[in-house]
């Protein structure tokens, strides 16, 4: 099928390399057992977020496809991958990291085209973040030792020790906002631990997962170690969650879907990690450096047009600096460049879909009707643009009773509220169901440490927002889920510990 004219002219404007055009315009199938499957049967539309036109077709996978992928993963686990020495596994993961790095431009284009996100961000964050994660976890492959324990109550002479074994076949279900990076967060540690993986990308953003699987195969990963099954979440994701051949489910996505998937996974007693949504609070005290705070707060909410799980979406600012901070945030938001993802200058890009844009607009309308005060941005009605870009929007005088201050919006919308005492700020920041992240801005070191300890969140940023490092565990509390991605803490999620007892006979 010829490429849609609007997409063709968009790609030409930004000189998309021909090999990328070829990759994104062919029908997308699955990647199972070392090869991409031909697309047969019904196809889903893959829509480019800026033009809102059909880019290509995506296979509408079935439970049988998921089953084939799980069997391939099991075969690899019991075959070449399971027998591979740890150092060889480490070498392959490092090779994959190098290959992804060499492919950075290609991958950054895929993310910009698929998600509609800023290509500058994809170059600076998504791809290097994925590469760093593989590099970090590669080293763990050869350091997964058990321990020799001295038995403390057994009679006679014994030798007691533990060994760490891969948990088995992992299903990695990921969302659309950082498709490559969130997949790398699961894949790198799972591979390091010796597991095999069935990846389920979002049906909105399958491209980078397919590219990664292809590259992994080229660098020598045995068939079946990394599989990608495409299709609808409630079909493929559900099939993987229910599949008795899947040993561990690592899910990143929304809280309602995470809860449902988790319940299904427990029916077959899978190990489970749930990285879910957030409504992260930000506290700015009278002692903050306002220039620094405003810059980080703007990046913390408007990166990826607000489609970020740990976006700092509710700001609590102390009375003494309230007006000055609001003014800085207003000016900063109004200076952000709007444009399509492939434009390197664009900071605010289209939302993932028309349906999502309408959901965000509904939140904005509710903020207006519930009495929040618009500082800048979308007036609420009659503002739909065809390209799905929403202006960065800030409301002041928000309260926890308002949806804008309570619910995850996942768009470029920031709520602000003034506070008087730090106790009040902490109580209000800790209200609500989520517990993914929080941020504190203050020039007083003691104050920042004290506040960081009192905040109910899995990640706390001080005078910054959204810092991510492969050596640091990432994950939430409460409605934001449980378990960790990244850091040594993640390894336990992909390993089983076996205790071995040896009774030593008498001479």
Q: Which residues bind ligand NAD (CB under 6 A)?
A: 173-177, 182, 200, 202-203, 233-234, 237-238, 241, 252-254, 257, 260-261, 275-278, 309, 408, 410, 436, 476
Q: How large is the greatest C-alpha to C-alpha distance in the chain, in angstroms?
A: 89
Instruction: Name which of 254 and 496 has its Cβ closer to ligand NAD.
Output: 254
Instruction: Name which of 94 and 260 has its Cβ closer to ligand NAD.
Output: 260
What order of strands is seen across the sheet that includes strand 196-200?
A: 35-36, 31-32, 226-228, 196-200, 169-173, 248-252, 271-275, 481-482
Instruction: Report the C-alpha gap between 480 and 259 in whole angstroms.
Output: 10
Least CB distance to ligand NAD at residue 504 (A) = 47
* DSSP-derived 3-state class of residue 145: coil
b/e code 173-191 from CB counts within 10 Å (16+ = b) = bbbbbbbbbbbbbbbbbbb
Task: Single out the catalytic residue among 48, 111, 203, 275.
Answer: 275
Closest by CA position to 352, among listed 49, 44, 47: 49
Least CB distance to ligand NAD at residue 435 (A) = 11
Does 275 participate in catalysis according to the annotation?
yes
b/e code 41-59 from CB counts within 10 Å (16+ = b) = eebbebbbbbbbbebbbbb
Instruction: Name which of 249 and 418 has its Cβ closer to ligand NAD.
Output: 249
For residue 128, count other CB atoms closer than 10 A to its CB.
16
Instruction: Name which of 173 and 294 has its Cβ closer to ligand NAD.
Output: 173
Instruction: Report the C-alpha gap between 505 and 502 in whole angstroms.
Output: 9
Segment (H or E) for 165? strand 157-166
Least CB distance to ligand NAD at residue 126 (A) = 12
- 455 and 429 in contact (C-beta within 8 Å)? yes
Least CB distance to ligand NAD at residue 233 (A) = 2
- For the four alpha carbons of 74, 80, 83 and 86, in that order, the dihedral sign comes to negative
Instruction: Name which of 321 and 486 has its Cβ closer to ligand NAD.
Output: 486
Do β-strands 477-478 and 434-435 pair in parallel, antiparallel, or remain unpaired?
antiparallel
Q: Tokens at residue 434, please?
A: 């989520």
Alpha-carbon Rg for the chain in angstroms: 24
The secondary structure of 126-143 as a DSSP string is: IHHHHHHHHHHHHHHTT-
Least CB distance to ligand NAD at residue 274 (A) = 8
Q: Tokens at residue 43, please?
A: 């196809």
Instruction: Name which of 73 and 276 has its Cβ closer to ligand NAD.
Output: 276
Least CB distance to ligand NAD at residue 473 (A) = 11
Instruction: Report the C-alpha gap between 244 and 261 in whole angstroms.
Output: 14
CA dist 310 to 132, 190, 240, 262, 353, Å?
Answer: 20, 23, 26, 21, 20
Instruction: Name which of 49 and 175 has its Cβ closer to ligand NAD.
Output: 175
Instruction: Report the C-alpha gap between 419 and 316 in whole angstroms.
Output: 6
Instruction: Name which of 227 and 238 has its Cβ closer to ligand NAD.
Output: 238
User: Which residues carry out catalysis?
Assistant: 275
């Amino acid at each position: 099928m010829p490429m849609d004219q609007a997409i063709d002219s968009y790609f030409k404007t930004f000189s998309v390399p021909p090999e990328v055009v070829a990759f994104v315009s062919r029908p997308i199938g699955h990647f199972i057992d070392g090869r991409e499957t031909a697309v047969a049967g019904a196809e889903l539309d893959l829509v480019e977020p800026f033009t809102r036109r059909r880019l290509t077709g995506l296979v509408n996978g079935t439970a049988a496809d998921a089953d084939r992928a799980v069997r391939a993963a099991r075969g690899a686990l019991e075959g070449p991958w399971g027998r591979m020495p740890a150092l060889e596994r480490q070498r392959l993961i490092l090779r994959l990291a190098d290959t992804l790095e060499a492919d950075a431009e290609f991958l950054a284009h895929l993310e910009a085209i698929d998600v509609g996100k800023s290509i500058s961000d994809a170059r600076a964050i998504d791809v290097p973040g994925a590469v760093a994660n593989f590099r970090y976890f590669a080293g763990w492959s050869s350091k997964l030792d058990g321990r020799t324990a001295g038995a403390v109550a057994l009679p006679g002479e014994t030798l007691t020790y533990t060994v760490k074994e891969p948990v088995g076949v992992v299903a990695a279900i990921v969302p659309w906002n950082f498709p490559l990076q969130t997949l790398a967060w699961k894949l790198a540690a799972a591979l390091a631990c010796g597991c095999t993986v069935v990846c389920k990308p979002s049906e909105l953003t399958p491209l980078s997962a397919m590219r990664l699987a292809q590259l992994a195969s080229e660098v020598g990963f045995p068939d079946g170690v990394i599989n990608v099954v495409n299709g609808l979440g409630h079909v493929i994701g559900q099939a993987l969650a229910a599949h008795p051949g899947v040993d561990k489910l690592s899910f990143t996505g929304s809280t309602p879907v995470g809860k449902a998937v988790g319940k299904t996974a427990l029916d077959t007693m899978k190990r489970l990690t749930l990285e879910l949504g957030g409504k992260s609070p930000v506290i700015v005290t009278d002692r903050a450096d306002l220039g620094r705070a405003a810059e980080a707060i703007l990046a913390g909410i408007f990166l990826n047009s607000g489609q970020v799980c740990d976006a700092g979406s509710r700001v609590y600012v102390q009375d003494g600096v309230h007006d000055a901070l609001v003014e800085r945030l207003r000016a900063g938001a109004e200076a952000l460049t709007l444009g399509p993802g492939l434009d390197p200058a664009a900071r605010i890009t289209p939302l993932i879909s028309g349906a999502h844009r309408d959901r965000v607009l509904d939140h904005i309308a509710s903020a207006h009707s519930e009495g929040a005060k618009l500082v800048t941005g979308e007036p609420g009605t009659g503002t739909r643009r065809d390209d799905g870009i929403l202006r960065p929007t800030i409301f002041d005088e928000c309260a926890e009773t308002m949806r804008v201050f309570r619910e995850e919006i996942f768009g470029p919308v920031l709520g602000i509220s003034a506070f008087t005492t730090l106790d009040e700020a902490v109580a209000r920041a800790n209200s609500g169901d989520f517990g993914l992240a929080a941020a504190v801005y203050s020039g007083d070191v003691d104050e920042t440490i004290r506040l960081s300890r009192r905040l109910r969140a899995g990640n706390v940023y001080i005078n910054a927002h959204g810092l991510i490092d492969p050596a640091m565990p990432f994950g939430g509390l409460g409605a934001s889920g449980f378990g960790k991605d990244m850091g040594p803490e993640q390894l336990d999620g992909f390993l089983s510990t076996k205790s071995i007892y040896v009774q030593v006979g008498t001479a």
